[in-house]
Structure formats: structure tokens, C-alpha cells
Structure 1
Amino acid sequence: MTSDRARGAPLTPDKRYIVVRGRLWRASNPNLTATERARWVAALMDARRAVQTAMRSGEATALRSARRAVEAAKRGLGERGPVWWTDGGKDYNRCLVKYTPYASWFGSL
């Protein structure tokens, strides 16, 4: 989330999603401590670099391993896997914002 927020991606009023090119993407869990968040972000950046390296080398095993590491970091941040909110609200991750309850909010931006 940090890099997208730094680039100005809007954050929904409930802070559950960022909007990128009209699509909702689950935001990082705001309840993580600064230390936890920093650890997961560092792991994500390392894993993304590993994906890039594996793609360049063409090593399928390394690529699978690197992608699993990206998935683990995204789950640790709360961007994938079970939702981090506890009110039972539906997950609209990867949905077009215009087809969600956030449509009117997004239209007013």
C-alpha cells in the first residue's frame, strides 16, 4: 500500500482498499505494528526482486519459490488471504469499483 499511497492512489473511507485504474485492491492491515509492517514490506521487496531475477534467468523452480514468497508477504501484510477486518463485510478485492458499494464515493472524487 505504501508505494501506491505515495503515488496518490485513493484509499477508501473505511481504509480497506486502494483504487488503482478503477479497481479495488486490498490495503495493508492498519493494525500491524510498525515493526511487523516493516518486516513484511522488506520481505515483499526481497521476494519481488527474486521474481525478477528468476524471470531473467529462466529458472522455473526459483520463479515458483519467489512467487510463493511474494504470496506469503502479501498475506502477512493482509493484502491477500483472510480479510483483516472483523465486521463480516464482504471482500471486494480486485473488483471494479463501479460495481461495488464504493462506486458513489469514487465517483465523487
Structure 2
Amino acid sequence: MPEQVREEAKARIRLRGGDPQSEPLVLSDSGLQFGQYRGQTFQWLLSNDVGYADVLASYAELFREMVTAVTSHCATEGSLPVQNQDQRPVGFGAHARKRHISLYETHTQSVLH
């Protein structure tokens, strides 16, 4: 199944003239395989219901295995640099005008309380 999802994402990217070798692009265009938004892409989810994505991320953090997998992935594959990104506007979805730092702070406060 994961390979089918990747190939479908790459096909959509090719149709738009994008680079199907771009891992971030493939991941953003991958279809969700569960939940109320099954069949929608991650890019669609972040543009239309960032709150759902936040809940999904918060839920994943409850599982040590998931945290370990994400940490391992970031260590081996790297992650996008975030320095000086916290003051930039989100730029999409319901929170388009909010700054990244405000979403982070809201999420952090909700996790701590």
C-alpha cells in the first residue's frame, strides 16, 4: 500500500509539471489512508483543516514508538531548517495570517494543560 500511495502522488505531481523526485513534494501530495479525510492529500489537509493535523500530531506524540520513529527519521533523513521561520505567516488555511510561533505556542500550552 505505501508504494501505491507514493506512485499516485508522483503521478499527480507529474500532471502538474512538478518534480516527482522531490521527497517533500511527494509527501505533501500523498493521500491520507484513514479518517474522515481519507483520499485527500496532506497538502489539502493543511490548507483546509490544520486543526485536524494538529490533533493528529498531538495524538502521535502519545506513542513512544512514534516519537522514536520521527526522531530517528529526522536524524537520518534530516529536516527542514526552522531558524528564523517562527515569525513567518503560515500562509494557508484557516490560520493563514497567524505566525508559526503563535501556532506553536498554542499547541504547547494545550499539551501542557
Higher relative contact order (Cα pairs below 8 Å, separated by 6+ residues): 1
Q: Same fold (TM over 0.5)?
A: no
TM-score computed with the length of structure 1 as normaliser: 0.25
Give the number of the structure whose residues are more often helix, by fraction: 2
Give the number of the structure whose residues are more often strand, by fraction: 1
